[in-house]
Structure formats: C-alpha cells, structure tokens
Amino acid sequence: MKIHEYQAKQILKRFAIEVPKGDAAFSPKEAFAIASRLGGRSVLKAQIHAGGRGKGGGVKIAADAAEAERLAQQMIGMSLVTPQTGSQGRKVRRLLVEETVPIAREIYLGVTLDRARSVPVVMASAQGGMEIEEVARRDPQAIRIEPVDPLVGFRPFQARRIAFALGLAGEQAAGAARLMQSLVLAYRETDASLAEINPLVLTSSGTLVALDAKMTFDDSALYRHPEIRELRDPDEEDPLEVEASAHALNYIKLRGNVGCMVNGAGLAMATMDIIKLVGGQPANFLDVGGGATSEQIASAFKILMADRSVKGVLINIFGGILRGDILAHGLVEAIRQVEVRVPVVVRLEGTNVEEGRRILRESGLDFTLADGMLDAAKKVVALAGSR
C-alpha cells in the first residue's frame, strides 16, 4: 500500500527523524493558514502517489502566505503529469505546505526488502535527489548497501560504515548513523516494504532533515497496522480497482479491449500474454482466485462490463480440484445477473469438463467455447476486433 509524502513524514517524525515543519492543505485557505504559521515563505508540494512531481510543476515556492494561497488555487484540482503518471496525469487534491530548508548537501537513504538475500537492506548514496534506480544504472558503485540481520538487527557499526562512506564526519556522521537506526526501526515497526528519504538534506546549519519521504507497506501485514490502513487514499486508485478489492478480487486495469477473467495470478498473466501474442491487447488483469465461486465470478463480470473499452471477454478457468460442471453452473448463474453486451469466450479445463461444456452450450447464453488457451485467445481477439 502506498501513502502520501506528508503521511510518510508524520511517521518518520514519530521515529525521531527531523522533517521540515509543515502540514497538509486541502484548500487554498488552509494553505494560507499553514504558510502564515510558517512565517510566509513556504514550499507547496502536490501530494499524489507518483514521483517526479517537480518536473511536472507539482512543487512551487511561495514568498509569502498570500502567494501560497494563490499557488494553491492553481495547484489543487490540476491534473499533474509526471514521468510516472502517464499522459492523463493525476488530479491533485492535497498539498503539503512546509518551510523551506537551506541545503548544503543531498543524500539518498532507503530501506527495502532484498528478495535474493531474504533480508531488509539499508541503501545509501551520496547522489541525493536522484532516483536510486537511476544511480544503480549509471554508477552502481555509488550505492552503499548494508543488510539488516533479522535476528541481531542493524548494527551501529554498519550505520557508521555507511556514514563514513558518504563522506560525513564527526557529529554529522554520528547523527546520520542514529537517523539510519531510526529509519530501520520505522521500517520494521510499520511492516514497510520501502522507507525512503530522498533527499536527506544536510542543512547549512549542519542538521539532517528528511526533505522528501516515501513509504510503502506490505499489504499482507496491514491486518496488524490499522492506523496505517487508514492512510489509504482511494482517490489515488482506479475506481474499478477499488471496487474489485472490496470483493477480494485482484484486478488491474490496462489499456486494451479484451477483458479477461482467470483463476490464479500466474495463469491470468499468461492469459494476458497470449492475447497480446495473437495480436490483441488485454484490457485488464483479473484473478478470481483459485476457488472461483459463482459470487466472485458475478462481481468480476460486473467489473469487466463497467469498463467501456472492453469489446470482448475471455474467461479462462483451469478447474483443477473444482469440478467443471459446478464451475459451469456458477458461470451461467453469475452471467444471468449481469447485462452482457460483448462476446464471451470460455475456456474451461478440469474434471467433468465435458459436462461443464454441455451446461454452457445449453444455457441459452451466447458463449463461444474454446479448446485450449491459444484457441481461446484467437477467438476472443477476432470477436473483439470485429466490433
């Protein structure tokens, strides 16, 4: 789960990491009030779940509170396009208004899960402000990495090693080491999957301030962090994806016109791949789960039909333990509840599959039956393309 920058900063602050003074504004009036409290001069940062905001005009500096209000007027409601949002951009609904910070140096600091090593790692680079992936491409040597031992924790000597490698000395090195410990603690205590400060700023007065912050969280661990679950911002998600997650469906909207409904994530991805391979474009990823009950199929179908770009649907179910006849009954029942306005191709595999196909054929519903994934993909792409 993603959260906004200002929410991430509030969490870091709880772990004794210094962040610029400021607050979130949902209206120009609030921006004015916050800027006034900060003494007028302030930075306004658009809060959307995508990076590269500065490049798209999502970060502005106001000389006084009146200008902050004026800028907020322009920014709130604007569609912000950044390298990460796609061309349609993302609507700005909240701003972070905070004090400006005199910058002497910028550092990158992050904690994330290293899948290959099966441990979290602390990453640091002297090239603050640049995306870590970019640094990794251009100059991998510039990234310092220390693993966090799950049993003994992140050791102070590891933190010092990073601090010295960054060229810090004296009180600043000690401060950076303490800050790294705090960041690791914040990561672990919140079940984060990423805790990133970029840039971490060494101010001209010698203090360390998290100028920008990003945190994402392990969805599987949210059950034990209700306070973090509350930070979810449905405005940042596709409305159909929000609807799908309410029905425990894994749905991701894509750009194509062939809707697909599949049981199992791997098979769902493979189905998208084969649609593309035969010349079509998948409209979505949709995993109805290994079980695929008729209620789930019905809600899944409603979501597919709500996407107006869908011109054909491919249902690919590998029954496995579920019997084909039971699946077919579920499918028929589900689809009777939904207004179907496009051709539907069904590929069904599993025990009693012949019986299942007979039920589909005799349902009176307009299914096209397919034999195998390739046949199914070809059929649905042809049908969707002719509309």
- Shortest distance in whole angstroms from residue 150 CB to other proteins: 4
Catalytic annotation, residues: 108, 196
Strands 312-323 and 258-262 come out as: parallel
At 214, list the tokens: 């990003």
DSSP for 108-145, written as a single string: EEEEEEETTTTEEEEEEES-TTS-HHHHHHH-GGGEEE
State the minimum distance, in angstroms, from the CB of residue 24 to other proteins. Answer: 24
Who contacts 165 (Cβ-Cβ below 8 Å, separation ≥6)? 124, 144
Q: How far is the CB of 288 from other proteins (least distance, A)?
A: 10
**H/E segment holding residue 348:** strand 344-351
Euclidean distance between the first and the last CA atom of the chain, given in angstroms as a whole number: 37
From the CB of 190, what's the least distance to other proteins, in Å?
Answer: 10
Q: Report the nearest approach of other proteins to the CB of residue 235 (Å).
A: 17
- Following DSSP, what letter does each residue of 286-347 receive, concatenated? EE-TTT--HHHHHHHHHHHHH-TT--EEEEEEEEEEEEHHHHHHHHHHHHHTS---S-EEEE
Strand partners, 194: 112, 216
Indicate the residue among 124 and 209 with the shorter CB distance to other proteins: 124
Cβ nearer to other proteins, comparing 115 with 308: 115
How would you class 209 by CB atoms within 10 Å of its CB: exposed for 0-12, middle for 13-18, buried for 19 or more? buried
190 residue type, one letter: T
User: Which residue ranges make up the site for other proteins (CB under 8 A)?
Assistant: 84, 113, 115-116, 118-120, 131-133, 136, 149-151, 188, 191, 193, 218-221, 223-224, 250, 252, 254, 262-277, 282, 285, 287, 290, 318-321, 349-351, 372-374
Of 38 and 286, nearer to other proteins (C-beta) is 286
- Looking at the Cβ atoms of 28 and 324, the one nearer to other proteins is 324
Closer CB to other proteins, residue 126 or residue 269?
Answer: 269
